[in-house]
Structure 1
Amino acid sequence: MVNIKVVLTDELRQFVDQEVREGDYAGASEYVRDLVRQRRRSKAADLLRQLIAEGVASGLPAPLPPGHFQKLLERASNRE
């Protein structure tokens, strides 16, 4: 585990302390770790929404030729 020093204004420190008291956090470090995890999930959700929008905007799917998946399976089997 790595330690990171974070400098907060008095106002922000009071806010963090209040969040720790009101939440189920053991301390400020746990609170900050939770914030980082939430941000990571938020960014992943944003990316997923973007990819879905791109997929929808790309139009209707084109049908694959007959035997397409069988050929993929055969190619994958030959790589072993």
Structure 2
Amino acid sequence: MSTMNISLPESLKGFVDEQVRQRGYSTSSEYLRELIRKEQDRQQLRTLLLDGAASKLGLEADENYFSGLRQRVENHKAND
């Protein structure tokens, strides 16, 4: 694992230390790793949402759509 040193003003360090204490993290590094992972997830979700918004419209999700979906599931179960 690589090491990264981060300089924080005392107020931010106090906030991180408090989060570590309140949320049961072992270290401030563990807390910061989770924040970074959450930001990665947020960015990935944003990309997916923007890609979906920019894509062409698909089939209308009406009763026929769901009936066909149920049928596909039933067929899949029957073939297992």
- TM-score, scaled to structure 2: 0.69
Instruction: Tell me the CA shift for residue 59 of structure 1.
Output: 4.8
Report matched runs for 1:1-80 at 5 Å.
1-55=1-55, 58-59=56-57
- TM-score, scaled to structure 1: 0.69
Q: How many residues were matched structurally?
A: 59
Query: What value does the CA root-mean-square deviation take over the aligned residues?
Result: 1.4
Identity %: 29
C-alpha distance after superposition, 1:18-77 (max 9, x if no partner): 00011021110000000100000000000000000001xx3568xxxxxxxxxxxxxxxx
Structure 2 CA distance, aligned partners of 1:20 and 1:30?
8
Write the letter of the residue equivalent to 1:18. Answer: E
List gaps (5 residues or longer) in structure 1: 62-80
